[in-house]
Structure 1
Amino acid sequence: MAIGKLYIGRKVRELRQINKATQAQFAERIGISVSYLNQIENNQRPVSAAVLIALAEKFRVDLSDLSAGEGDRLLSALTEALNDPLFEAQSASLQELKLVAQNAPGVAHALIACHRAYRHNSEQLASIDDTLGRSPGIAENTPYEEVRDFFHFVDNYIHDLDSAAERLAAEIGLGEADPSAPLAAFLERAHGVRIRKALTEDDMIRSYDRQAKIMTLNAYLPAATRDFQMALQIAQLALPDMIDQIARNAGFRTTEAFEICRIGLQNYVAGALILPYRVFMEAARALRHDLDLLAMRFGASLEQVCHRLSTLQRPGAKGVPIFFARIDRAGNITKRHSAAKLQFARFGAACPLWNAHQAFEQPGRIIRQLAETPDGVRYLCFATQISKGGRGFRKPQQHYALALGCEISYADSFVYADDLDLDNRAAFDPIGISCRICERGQCPSRAMPPLKGRLVIDHDRRAALPYALREN
Structure 2
Amino acid sequence: MPNSSRKIFAGARIRILRQSLNLTQAMFAQQISISTSYLNQIENNQRALSGSVILALVDAFNFDLAELALDGAGKVSVDLQEILTDPIFADNEVLTQEIKVAATNAPNVTKAFLDLYGMFQKSREQLGRVDNALKDRETSLAPLPYEEVRDYFHYNDNYIDELDRAAEAFSLSLKRSGADRHADLVEYLSKTHGVHVVLRKDKPSSGTIRSFESATKTLYLNAASTKATNLFQLAYQVGLFEQSKLVENLLDAAEFHTDAARDVCRMTFANYFAGAVILPYSDFASAAKEQRHDLEKLAFQFDASTEQVCHRLSTLQRGGNRGIPFYFLRIDQAGNITKRHSATSLQFTRFGGSCPLWNVHHAFQSPGEILRQLAITPDGVKYLSLAFDQTKRVAGFKSPVRKYVIGLGCEIKHAAQVVYADDLDVTNEQNFEPIGSSCRICERADCFHRSVPPIGKEIKIDHSSRGSVPFKIE
Shorter chain as normaliser: what TM range?
over 0.9
What residue number does 1:131 align with? 130
SS at match of 2:60: helix
Could you tell me how far 1:122 is from its partner in structure 2? Answer: 4.8
The structure 2 residue matched to 1:366, chosen from 370, 375, 389, is: 370
Partner Cα distance (2:158, 2:375) in 1: 24
Contact 2:123 2:134 in 1 (8 A): no
What residue number does 1:419 align with? 423
Gaps of 5+ in 2: none
What residue number does 2:190 align with? 188
SS at match of 2:440: coil
What residue number does 1:405 align with? 409
Partner Cα distance (1:176, 1:380) in 2: 37
Aligned residues: 467
CA gap of 1:121–1:24, structure 2 versus 1, over 3 A, is closer
Partner Cα distance (1:198, 1:189) in 2: 21
The structure 2 residue matched to 1:33, chosen from 32, 35, 38, is: 35
| Bigger mean CA deviation after superposition, 453-462 or 66-75 | 66-75
What residue number does 2:323 align with? 319
CA gap of 1:451–1:15, structure 2 versus 1, over 3 A, is closer
The structure 2 residue matched to 1:116, chosen from 104, 115, 118, is: 118
Could you tell me how far 1:320 is from its partner in structure 2? Answer: 0.2
Could you tell me how far 1:121 is from its partner in structure 2? Answer: 4.7
Q: Is 1:205 matched up with 2:209? A: yes
CA gap of 1:382–1:288, structure 2 versus 1, over 3 A, is same
Contact 2:12 2:104 in 1 (8 A): yes
SS at match of 1:432: coil
| Bigger mean CA deviation after superposition, 79-88 or 270-279 | 79-88
What residue number does 2:64 align with? 62
Amino acid at match of 1:131: V
The structure 2 residue matched to 1:149, chosen from 148, 151, 163, is: 151
Q: Which runs of 4+ in 1 moved over 6 A?
A: none
Amino acid at match of 2:17: L
CA gap of 1:178–1:79, structure 2 versus 1, over 3 A, is farther
Amino acid at match of 2:34: I
| Bigger mean CA deviation after superposition, 291-300 or 169-178 | 169-178
Per the normalisation by structure 2, the TM-score is 0.93
What residue number does 2:239 align with? 235
Partner Cα distance (2:177, 2:335) in 1: 34
| Bigger mean CA deviation after superposition, 66-75 or 230-239 | 66-75
Partner Cα distance (1:81, 1:329) in 2: 25
What residue number does 1:434 align with? 438
SS at match of 1:314: coil
Partner Cα distance (2:363, 2:259) in 1: 38
Partner Cα distance (2:378, 2:261) in 1: 35
Partner Cα distance (1:85, 1:228) in 2: 44
Partner Cα distance (1:325, 1:425) in 2: 26
Could you tell me how far 1:194 is from its partner in structure 2? Answer: 1.6
Partner Cα distance (1:262, 1:324) in 2: 21
CA gap of 1:448–1:180, structure 2 versus 1, over 3 A, is same
SS at match of 1:405: strand
What residue number does 1:163 align with? 165
Partner Cα distance (1:25, 1:175) in 2: 55
Contact 1:435 1:448 in 2 (8 A): yes
Contact 1:100 1:108 in 2 (8 A): yes
For residues 124-148 of structure 1, the C-alpha deviation after alignment (integer angstroms, 9 at most, x for no partner) is 56x6xx4388858875421111111
Partner Cα distance (2:241, 2:32) in 1: 46
Partner Cα distance (1:220, 1:25) in 2: 63
SS at match of 1:387: strand
For residues 417-449 of structure 1, the C-alpha deviation after alignment (integer angstroms, 9 at most, x for no partner) is 011111111111111111222112222212333
CA gap of 1:239–1:464, structure 2 versus 1, over 3 A, is same
Could you tell me how far 1:91 is from its partner in structure 2? Answer: 3.4
For residues 205-254 of structure 1, the C-alpha deviation after alignment (integer angstroms, 9 at most, x for no partner) is 11112232211111111111111100000000111100111112111111
The structure 2 residue matched to 1:261, chosen from 265, 272, 281, is: 265
| Bigger mean CA deviation after superposition, 37-46 or 307-316 | 37-46
CA gap of 1:20–1:119, structure 2 versus 1, over 3 A, is closer
Contact 2:382 2:411 in 1 (8 A): yes
Per the normalisation by structure 1, the TM-score is 0.94
CA gap of 1:319–1:466, structure 2 versus 1, over 3 A, is same
What residue number does 1:104 align with? 106
Gaps of 5+ in 1: none
SS at match of 1:248: helix
Contact 1:84 1:452 in 2 (8 A): no
Partner Cα distance (1:437, 1:9) in 2: 26
Contact 2:122 2:144 in 1 (8 A): no
Could you tell me how far 1:108 is from its partner in structure 2? Answer: 1.5
| Bigger mean CA deviation after superposition, 41-50 or 297-306 | 41-50
Contact 1:178 1:298 in 2 (8 A): no
| Bigger mean CA deviation after superposition, 27-36 or 112-121 | 112-121
Partner Cα distance (2:114, 2:409) in 1: 26
CA gap of 1:260–1:422, structure 2 versus 1, over 3 A, is same
What residue number does 1:8 align with? 10
The structure 2 residue matched to 1:271, chosen from 272, 275, 278, is: 275
Could you tell me how far 1:459 is from its partner in structure 2? Answer: 2.2
What residue number does 1:84 align with? 86
What residue number does 1:215 align with? 219
Percent of pairs with identical residues: 46
| Bigger mean CA deviation after superposition, 69-78 or 363-372 | 69-78
Could you tell me how far 1:186 is from its partner in structure 2? Answer: 1.4
For residues 282-340 of structure 1, the C-alpha deviation after alignment (integer angstroms, 9 at most, x for no partner) is 11111111111110110001111110011001111110011111010001111111111
| Bigger mean CA deviation after superposition, 313-322 or 106-115 | 106-115
| Bigger mean CA deviation after superposition, 440-449 or 272-281 | 440-449
SS at match of 1:436: helix
Q: Over aligned residues, Cα RMSD in angstroms?
A: 2.1
What residue number does 2:73 align with? 71
SS at match of 1:313: coil
Partner Cα distance (2:71, 2:101) in 1: 14
CA gap of 1:119–1:14, structure 2 versus 1, over 3 A, is closer
SS at match of 2:378: coil
SS at match of 1:79: helix
